[in-house]
Amino acid sequence: TEPIRVAAVDLGATSGRVVVAEVGPGGARLDVVHRFANTPVRLTDGLHWDVVGLFREVVDGLRLAVRSSPDLAGVAVDSWAVDYALLREGRMVSTPFHYRDPRNAAAVETVHAKVDPAALYARNGLQHLPFNTLFQLVADGAHLHHADTMLLVPDLIGHWLSGHVGAEVTNASTTGLLDVTTGGWDTDLATTLGVPPGILAPLVPSGSRIGGLLPHVREEIGGHDLAVTTVGSHDTASAIAGTVLGPDDAYVSCGTWGLVGLELERPVLADEARTAGFTNEGGVDGRVRFLHNVMGLWLLSESVRTWEREDGRPLDLSALLAAAAEVEAPLVFDVDDPRFLAPGDIPERIRAYAAEHDLRRPADRAETARAILESLAAAFAATVDRAAELAGRRVRRIQVVGGGALNTLLCQLTADRSGLEVLAGPVEATALGNALVQARTLDAVSGDLDALRALVGRTLEQQRYLPRSVHSKTPLVARKVM
């Protein structure tokens, strides 16, 4: 079979990209043709996503993709999880909320009063995150009754591209309304919580053809049609599909969040998994993503945003990270403390945390950055350990993928803190996972997830980090492997 070219649309919580991927039996090659910021907007009723603006960027990106690859065959969309649009007769009835909007607190209590956390976990297998879709839907209250359909963000973009209405399963698994045992919508749970089950769109597995481009979209990208298919539309599902996992590997999919865990065949629903904050999200091909959300590089990017506002100009991140690498005896704090979830002055919140816990407060930006990376690495290491213990698996190596794979200090600290070898890359694991599944759906490659990973594994370049003893002064050097 000949290689195929497809466009992977990957919308992250801080930036989006359209990637042209060439995929065939010889492997995959990625070319980012369009990159754009994803900047939330605060309106009178709270923090929202500019989904219409994002759709315009997607169409612009597809136009560039078709121009660079006139034989482009398909497109599929993935994005961050849990957030959604409400529609009535095809029209959006409100602007989608951002999951970092604090409106869900009351809804969490309402839900837990009706279905306690343990019972909820037994049904949906999800770690408690206050922004899981079901809490947001309950927070929507009466607004829900103006809608006939809820579409999660990637399904919404797919709908605007193709007209198709559906709920791709990997992302549907992050709503809290999917039954972890049957894989179907838990309509009883929805009804109990006052969510009209009729708004839940028909489930669609990843790897389905859902149509072609709508005529006006086709026209906007130069008169070219594309097969629109589903992939792991939850970005983390695509990221893990694009991670070349060995049998004893854990992963850290590190971008805005650090998603840390294991790929399993079956969910772990033991109560210890719930209290340890582990989730059982749906992966591509029915695999289970057993993981915990660690706060992630959000802490650093949001700190940088604060500093850039103070300075009124862009900050030199590589200089900051170089200074951070030199810091001695850094502060280690609990990155998962809920105070770090909402946008705002993260450095000030870290200082407050240190003061409350009688720890030394970071004195400057380098110390703050180091505290963030050191604490993330510590959380990654502890989470890998706990995941292995809960799943009864042995872990010998950690794969770090996503933008965090470029952060050499973070990767080295993760190796140091875990005592395990760290392999970093691919940086664009999400786009890669998206493209691999598309290529299989369009018959350019075949096989299960491991066969797809093996395809790219042969040519993948990764950086290797070996654990240094915590007190040694071994310089920070990444080694190229493979």
Decide: 438 and 228 in contact? Cβ < 8 Å. no
CB of 198 to ligand LRH, least distance (A): 25
Question: Which residue reads 């049904």 in tokens?
Answer: 123
Q: Going by C-beta distance under 8 Å and a sequence separation of 6 or more, which residues neighbour residue 90?
A: none
Decide: 289 and 280 in contact? Cβ < 8 Å. yes
Stretch that binds ligand LRH, among 100-108, 139-147, 253-261, 369-377 (CB under 6 A): 253-261
**Residues 426-465, interacting with ligand LRH (CB under 6 A):** none
DSSP, collapsed to helix, strand or coil, labels residue 354 as helix
Instruction: Give, in order, the Cα–Cα distances in Å from 427 to each of 3, 285, 402, 417, 462.
Output: 22, 22, 4, 22, 9
Q: Which of 5, 6, 12, 435 binds ligand LRH (CB under 6 A)?
A: 12
Q: Which of 13, 156, 297, 442 binds ligand LRH (CB under 6 A)?
A: 13
Question: Which residue reads 């489930």 in tokens?
Answer: 203
Stretch that binds ligand LRH, among 141-149, 223-231, 255-263, 265-273 (CB under 6 A): 255-263
Stretch that binds ligand LRH, among 147-155, 176-184, 254-262, 307-315 (CB under 6 A): 254-262
CA angle 378, 326, 461 (to 5 degrees): 65
Give dist(CA 446, CA 207) in Å, integer: 12
CB of 357 to ligand LRH, least distance (A): 26
- Is 235 a residue that touches ligand LRH (CB under 6 A)? yes
Give whichever of 11 and 331 is closer to ligand LRH, judged by the CB atom. 11
Give whichever of 227 and 245 is closer to ligand LRH, judged by the CB atom. 245
CB of 301 to ligand LRH, least distance (A): 13
CA max distance for the chain: 64
Q: Which helix (H) or strand (E) holds 396?
A: none
Give whichever of 425 and 467 is closer to ligand LRH, judged by the CB atom. 425
- Is 233 a residue that touches ligand LRH (CB under 6 A)? no
Q: Going by C-beta distance under 8 Å and a sequence separation of 6 or more, which residues neighbour residue 133?
A: 82, 83, 84, 152, 174, 175, 176, 177
CB of 216 to ligand LRH, least distance (A): 29
Give dist(CA 279, CA 177) in Å, integer: 14
Residue 186: CA count within 13 A, CB half-sphere: 24
Q: Which residues are known catalytic residues?
A: 235
CA angle 58, 427, 449 (to 5 degrees): 85
- Is 293 a residue that touches ligand LRH (CB under 6 A)? yes
**Residues 61-100, interacting with ligand LRH (CB under 6 A):** 80-82, 99
Q: Which of 149, 230, 236, 407 binds ligand LRH (CB under 6 A)?
A: 236
Peptide bond into 426 cis (omega under 30): yes
CB of 239 to ligand LRH, least distance (A): 8
Stretch that binds ligand LRH, among 68-76, 228-236, 316-324, 463-471 (CB under 6 A): 228-236
**Chain residues in the site for ligand LRH (CB under 6 A):** 12-13, 80-82, 99, 234-236, 255-257, 259, 293
